Amino acid sequence: MEDRALPAAGFLYWVGASTVAYLALRASYSLFRAFQVWCVGNEAWVGPRRGEWAEEKFKVETRTIAVDFSLDDIYDKIKTGLSGLEIGVLVNNVGMSYEYPEYFLEVPDLDNTIKKLININILSVCKVTHLVLPGMVERSKGVILNISSASGMLPVPLLTVYSATKAFVDFFSQCLHEEYKSKGIFVQSVLPFFVATKMSKIRKPTLDKPSAETFVKSAFKTVGLESRTNGYLIHSLMGSIHASLPRWIYFKIVIGLNKSLRNRYLKKTKKN
C-alpha cells in the first residue's frame, strides 16, 4: 500500500507546485502590467507622430465643426469639414445620459429620449469612425478612442437605455480593434466610472471621482497598452470589484443606489 501511495503523493506534489508557480507568475505579470500602465504609461501614442490633426488636442491646429449629434442628417456636413485633413487621433466623446435614474416606461418623453440616446451614443460613434478610419487605414497608422462607460461593463437598471448604448460602444470598439490592429490602427474602449463633469453633475472632484483633466492624463497612459480600460487606477480597481461580485449582489447594490438617486431627484423636484 505504501509503495502505491508514493507515486500518487508525488503526482499531487507536482500538481500543487505547478499550480502555485502558475498563480505566482500570473500575479507577477499582473503587477508588472499594472506598473507599466499606471506608472510608466505610453503617452507618446497620442503625440504628433500620429498626425497633425485631432478633434481636440492641446498644442495642435484645431478646426471646429458645430453640429447637433441628436440629429441624424449631420454627417455630410462633418465629412465636408474633415475633407483634406490627416487625422491621426479620433476621440469619440459625445454622450448623453438620463436626467435621473428612472424605470424604462416612466422615462420622461421616452420616444424622444430613446432616439437621442441612440443617435448621440451609438450612431455618432459608427458614423464618425466611418468618416475617419479609411484615411488611417491608408496611412497604416491611427488611434481611435471611444468613450464608453462603466455602465457598459455590466447592466445598470434604471439607466437601461444608456447602459445598453454604452455596452454597444464597448463591443464595437473591441471588435474594431481586432479587425484593424494588423493594419496599424489602435482602437480603445474607455470605460470610466463617475468623473467630475457637467453630465455627471459632480462639481467637486474626489479620489474616486476625478476631474476631467486628471482622468484624461491617466487615460492617455493606457493608449497602446490596453485596448479596453477604465482609464484610471481607482476606477480599474472598482471595475474589478464589480465584476467579481455575484450578479444578485451587484444588482441589489446598483438598483438600491439608483432608486435612492431617483427618489432624491423626484423629491427635490416635487414629482413624487
Active site residues: 162
CB atoms under 10 Å from CB of 194, counted, come to: 19
Grid coordinates belonging to 83 = 475633407
How far is residue 35's CA from residue 37's CA, in Å, rounded to a whole number? 6
Spatial contact of 145 and 190, defined as CB atoms under 8 Å apart: yes
Give the residue among 232, 156, 157, 250 at the shortest CA–CA distance from 190. Answer: 232
Question: How does strand 142-147 pair with strand 185-190?
Answer: parallel
Length of the chain: 272
Dihedral of the alpha carbons of 67, 190, 228, 142, in degrees to the nearest 10: 40
How far is residue 48's CA from residue 52's CA, in Å, rounded to a whole number? 6
